[in-house]
Structure 1
Amino acid sequence: MRSTALVTLATAVAGLLLAGTAAAAPAPGGQTVGDPYYPNDGNTGYDVGHYDLRLQYQPPTDQLSGTATILATATQDLSQFSFDFGLHTDSVLVNNLPATYTSTGSKLVITPARSLAKGSAVTVVVRYDGIPSKVTINGEQDWLRTPDGAQAVQEPHIAAFWYPANDHPTDKATYDVSVAVPNGTQVISNGTLVSSPSQLGQTRWNWRSTKPQATYLTFIAIGKYDIRRSTGPDGKPVINAYGANIGDNHDAAVASVERTPEVLSWESSVFGPFPFEAEGGVVPAVNFGFALENQTRPVYTPGFFRSGADMSVIVHENAHQWFGDAVSVHRWNDIWLNEGFASYAEWLWSEKEGEGTAQQLFDYYYNSVPADDAQWQVLPGDPGADNQFSDFAVYTRGALALHALRTAVGDDSFFAILKAWVASREYSDGTIDQFIAIAEKISGKPLHDLFQQWLFTPARPAVPASFSAHTTPVKPRSVAEIDRTQVLLAQSHH
């Protein structure tokens, strides 16, 4: 009797062990990464390694068609997965087998013929077409038609208007972007221009990005462009493009953008080695109202150059190559890691150029907004989706916070922190808490209270007596250009 009970118990235990080791049934990937600001963004269940986009575009009709080949790795056993995408899908292959799919207008939901095993390589081929300017995703229309073409330039969303994507900065990938257009029309994108052959009345522009890149930083600008190619002091290719009809702003735009290699050389000395394979800038012949730090090649509205050269915007957008591009936000509430840092780079450039020290700029901006002003109520460390690109709270107070850190830890530690931050998270993403941890480790100082005060307290922070902010501050010469730049930058986003 006793031995029978033991056998029964052993059998039961073995059954439980077997049940515990049995593989779970494949399940659908999620249709959001759970970003609190944009709860519909991104997808789970896979990680994209590479996008190959082979497209055709007709400027007169705004017709876009082609094929996206997406190389990914399943991060779970998958029965179904999705991309963010708004155009019309013609067909889908998964690992060379036809897949079934449905489109919600913002999500392309794909059911492969065979389930995908966790860790397996996945090749997805999506054939599609449509008119991107007619696409609305979550209330946004982000594709911009221009008099001679179009541009896909916007933050935080643009990818889903022209290719199927896992549209969140936490899933970076490399890219090949190939777009055929009528002869005489140019296509500018990220990275290096591999080739631009012409045949049968069309030119196919082939661009390649070899470093991991966030989806919103991948762009195309299509139209009549003057493309200038050179080599920078670091030996990397420089590709700048100017719209053929910029008008009176043309010379000032060229006088600014052509200095990009000089700016990057200086920023490399401050932030660490330039993280990408190419550099440059684009100024379309349409006033779209902002600038964006597209990886390797920022795009600037001509309006920045109405009053002459604007080096602040060149410095700002190229500082993003480190802060925002090489290291991206983990969630969009971490936006201070992008905009506060790029804004402070403008202050550092002012200091370098003798146009006003960072301390003078701190004193001026700190005193420019009274303590009872509602702008101090917006938190740079978590501004909310509606205030994510607040001119004062995220950009200016963001820069004030960095100067407060610099003052607290000293120059040696401060600049070591900036370099260490990029080196530790390069080609990935990061959070404000992770930045604070690195700042404390390198400086050897407790900094929680400082960051709490500057990033997470709805009030104007008190300043140390060593600051001159209680006196009437001088107005540094750089303020006019910085202010003009900031106003346009803050207009850029939804």
Structure 2
Amino acid sequence: MSARPITASVLLGALLSAALTACADKAHAPAAAVPRAAPAAPGATSAGDPIVPGGGNGGYDVQHYDLDLRITPRGRPSLAGTTTITATATQALSRFDLDLTGLDVSKVTVGGAPATYTRAPGKLVVTPPKPISKGRFTVGVTYSGTPVAVTDRALGKYGWIPTDDGIFVGDEPDGAHTWFPGNDHPQDKATFGFRVTVPSGLTAVANGELTGTTRSGKSATYTWQARDPMATYLATVDVGRFKTRTGRTPGGVPVFVAVDREADPTGLDSLYDDTVKVTDAWAKLFGPYPFSSTGAVVQDAPVQFALETQTRPEYVPGMAAIPTVVAHELSHQWFGDSVTVTRWSDIWLNEGFATYAEWMWGERDGSGQTVQQQFDGRYSQRQSTDLWNVPPADPGRAGLFGRSVYDRGAMTLHALRKKVGDQRFFAILRAWTTEHRHGNATTAQFIALAQRVSGMDLRRLFQVWLYDRGRPVNW
């Protein structure tokens, strides 16, 4: 049967009918549902990191800390201040937590309005005057007290530590909440401003750049700005009687070095020179220096560690005189400070890399063994349970600063270097510092990047070196 031809009148009628039907359907269709905002709820009370149980918080992302502090090292209280936090709410918040231990809080505001607050172990629980919508908000906390250092059976003593003439602050992994309120976990990085008032005759040194000094009567105020994102454990304020030296590296990076006058009276120039040499050398090897200044602080503190506090590593006198230690701490500016762990179980990404840098510097300046000798000497220690029975990528809290994280972590990198060759190995390191600059990263991301850059299957190498118990073979 042939089709009937369609006349103009038939076509017009069909179009008119369709239009009327569409209008009728639209008139009777239900109104489009308007999405309802999620109700306000409390933010998470921790970051969920088993290495630091209870540390960190959820529901917001800190953008900036302004710390206005008055520090009187021998006073009671020794600290009085106001911390103003600018943050982004990632959910509608009915309340939220800040990490804070042991200090007396006298006032809390949210958006400039008084807020109610309670205390829980290690926490300041803040209830704003009205729920916070997703987006930017500010919270101010006024407090005072004498901070107490953390003394941990596994990790030792860290945090706020008095010295003979001032204060030394070394916070890794979770000591920042002993002296200012915040989100004390490395996954929440922020910029910092410090305004620190101390008695006349003392100097306050913090992260970033010194932007102002004022003196009034019996006190002096130092203003510092750290304009690049920083984890809370890398923040510091050191107070003492310092000799200082400033300048620039040949590569153009500003330098600020401060040395305790009594603890290390002759070490200023040598530490300055080492800092300059290492900063520029690592910039050529690892990629551009990631921050706006470099430097160091030496304090006669009763601790047995140096610390990679951002832009301004801290040393005790004996350690400051060892170039390989300076090389270790300055390499952290790339590996740990700029590229920061997402979870503490990945700390080998900090310490394994810095230990390997330390080995490379010893080989470079002739003060130590070659990197291969460092590797071989450790690999021959077949019975070292602290080296072989603790996987570097899962050390637990007790092994956080243990030998496996440092030495076996560095050995992992040397095994990788031997597998892929120097050209690919250093391309991997530079890609790592570039792609994760000022961010957070994980072991899984490093493995994926190493495989992508090298074009090789490296799964067995990383499995036996980072995750398996026992001395690796056949990788």
CA contact (8 A) 2:118 2:124 kept: yes
Distance 1:108 1:137, change over 3 A: farther
**In the alignment, what sits opposite 2:355?**
343
**In the alignment, what sits opposite 2:318?**
303
Distance 1:98 1:137, change over 3 A: farther
**In the alignment, what sits opposite 2:59?**
45
Amino acid in the other structure paired with 1:362: F
Aligned residues: 445
List aligned pairs for 1:282-297, cutoff 5 A: 282-297=297-312
TM-score (norm 1): 0.86
CA contact (8 A) 1:240 1:258 kept: no
1:99 matched to 2:115? The reply is: yes
List per-residue Cα deviations over 1:118-169 (Å, max 9, x = no partner): 1x21011111111113788999773111111112213102211111110011
Distance 1:349 1:47, change over 3 A: same
Distance 1:454 1:253, change over 3 A: farther
**In the alignment, what sits opposite 2:325?**
313
SS in 1 for 2:94: strand
1:55 to 51, 65, 69: 69
List per-residue Cα deviations over 1:247-281 (Å, max 9, x = no partner): xx543564234310110100011110000001100
**In the alignment, what sits opposite 1:420?**
431
1:216 matched to 2:237? The reply is: no
Distance 1:374 1:39, change over 3 A: closer
1:366 matched to 2:379? The reply is: yes
CA contact (8 A) 2:81 2:144 kept: yes
**In the alignment, what sits opposite 1:489?**
none
Give distance in 2, aligned partners of 1:349 and 1:149. 33
TM-superposed CA distance for 1:359, in Å, is 1.6
Give distance in 2, aligned partners of 1:240 and 1:142. 21
Give distance in 1, aligned partners of 2:414 and 2:152. 38
Distance 1:288 1:141, change over 3 A: closer
CA contact (8 A) 1:406 1:414 kept: yes
1:383 matched to 2:399? The reply is: no
Amino acid in the other structure paired with 1:200: G
1:276 matched to 2:288? The reply is: no
**In the alignment, what sits opposite 1:24?**
38
List per-residue Cα deviations over 1:439-460 (Å, max 9, x = no partner): 0000000111000010111111
List per-residue Cα deviations over 1:314-336 (Å, max 9, x = no partner): 00000000000000000000001
TM-superposed CA distance for 1:227, in Å, is 1.6
CA contact (8 A) 1:371 1:459 kept: no
SS in 2 for 1:115: coil
List aligned pairs for 1:257-276, cutoff 5 A: 257-276=272-291
1:399 matched to 2:416? The reply is: no
1:156 matched to 2:173? The reply is: yes
SS in 2 for 1:242: strand
1:167 to 157, 178, 184: 184
Give distance in 2, aligned partners of 1:396 and 1:124. 42
1:432 matched to 2:443? The reply is: yes
Give distance in 2, aligned partners of 1:35 and 1:134. 21
CA contact (8 A) 2:286 2:433 kept: yes
CA contact (8 A) 2:82 2:140 kept: yes
List aligned pairs for 1:122-133, cutoff 5 A: 122-133=137-148
CA contact (8 A) 1:289 1:303 kept: no
Deviates further, 320-329 or 31-40: 31-40
Give distance in 2, aligned partners of 1:135 and 1:292. 16
2:80 to 52, 58, 65: 65
SS in 1 for 2:355: helix
Distance 1:115 1:336, change over 3 A: same
TM-score (norm 2): 0.89
1:76 matched to 2:91? The reply is: yes
Give distance in 1, aligned partners of 2:278 and 2:152. 36
SS in 1 for 2:44: coil
Amino acid in the other structure paired with 1:318: L
CA contact (8 A) 1:64 1:129 kept: yes
CA contact (8 A) 1:67 1:128 kept: yes
Give distance in 2, aligned partners of 1:462 and 1:250. 49
CA contact (8 A) 1:257 1:314 kept: no
SS in 1 for 2:188: coil
1:356 matched to 2:389? The reply is: no
SS in 2 for 1:211: strand
Give distance in 2, aligned partners of 1:134 and 1:279. 27
Distance 1:330 1:14, change over 3 A: farther
Amino acid in the other structure paired with 1:227: T
Q: Structure 2, unaligned stretches of length 5 or more?
A: 1-25
List per-residue Cα deviations over 1:51-93 (Å, max 9, x = no partner): 0111111122252111111111110011101110121111011
